[in-house]
Amino acid sequence: MLVRASRPARPFRLLAGVALSGVLVAAASGCGKEEAAPADGTDDALAGRARQVAEAWDGSASAAAWRTGYHPTGEAVQLPRGGLRGRADEQAFEDGRFVLRGELPGAGPGDGRVAWHGGKTLKRPLVGADESYGSLARSRGAGKPQLTVTGVELGEMRLATSRGPATVPAWLFTLDGYASPLRQAAVLPSKPPRPPIGRAQGIPGLPLDRLVRTAADGRSVTVIALHGACDDGAVVDARETTGSVVLAAAVKDRQEGGLCTDQAKMQQVTVALDRPVGDRVLLDAHTGRPVPYKGMHGITPSGG
């Protein structure tokens, strides 16, 4: 049985982030009925909603299911030791320009095992070499530099997860000109559990887009928050309990009137925590769901 925390959240601390280039339409779907939020001001509404989410999750069956699953919080693709050599190879990787020299391994075992420190393991469906290669080779890019794959075999890699570092099956892609392989995790993550609380209703701000980084010591997390064209950027606060960390995103100084678009800008925000995340569930106050890890793929910081 998980312990329900009773200590109050730390003071409502808003943290500004670093703006990122790129825009996307703000949309998110919820699960279950919508939850009404307190209407006594933005800060109070967000704090009240974060408390609701923490109370719903702490000690719940959803939290227990989350802690027994395989949920990566680190990059599923690891580059060869020392990284890629030169901007041409880096660009080829980012664009998905690969060429295969040889054959991919045929169908192997249907499942692989994820292993954590202390002997805990979990069996998960194995992704085939063809599907794994296809996710890397997204563009042929005729006439442009490419990364040449000369061999593929099943091996292992270490990967950060919501339950700590794990050893997972991985496809090892030998690249022409590199002494060590490019590795890609080869097992499917667990399906996130159904949240015990629905999406919020009537709270200013937008849901978080993604988790991109957890500090090595676990005492901060970096997320991509969204804000509009008529405000001064996104801010994020954390409500911490023994079982969860609820992140509540809002916007600073929204301007009323004038011409605004329906697009949302992306912003990188690092949130300091009172103690390491550990195996606590990282949650979005707006959706009531775990914050998905997607890394920085497709996001380019403005100004370099």
Asked whether residue 98 falls in the same domain as residue 242, the answer is no
The amino acid present at 11, given as its one-letter code, is: P
pLDDT (tens digit, 9 = 90+) per residue, 97-142?
Answer: 999 998 999 877 789 999 999 899 999 999 999 999 999 998 876 6
How many domains are there within the chain? 2
User: Which residue, of 170, 185, 200, is where some domain finishes?
Assistant: 185
Q: In angstroms, rounded to a whole number, what is the distance separating the alpha carbons of residues 239 and 220?
A: 13
Distance (Å) of CA 60 to CA 63, 134, 255: 5, 38, 40
Question: SS3 for 4?
Answer: coil
- The reply to whether 104 and 169 lie within a common domain is yes
Is there a single domain that holds both residue 170 and residue 202? no
pLDDT, tens digit (0-9, with 9 covering 90-100), for 56-83: 999 999 999 999 999 999 999 999 999 9
Which of 140, 168, 185 is the C-terminal boundary of a domain?
185
CATH of the domain at 111: 2.40.128
How many Å apart are CA 175 and CA 179, to the nearest integer? 8
What is residue 261's predicted lDDT score, i.e. its pLDDT? 59
The reply to whether 81 and 180 lie within a common domain is yes
pTM: 0.78
**How far is it, in rounded angstroms, from Cα 40 to Cα 204?**
12
Q: Which domain holds residue 158?
A: 77-185
Question: 257: exposed, middle or buried (C-beta count within 10 Å: 0-12, 13-18, 19+)?
Answer: exposed
Q: From start to end of 45-161, where are the E strands?
A: 77-78, 98-100, 111-116, 121-125, 147-159
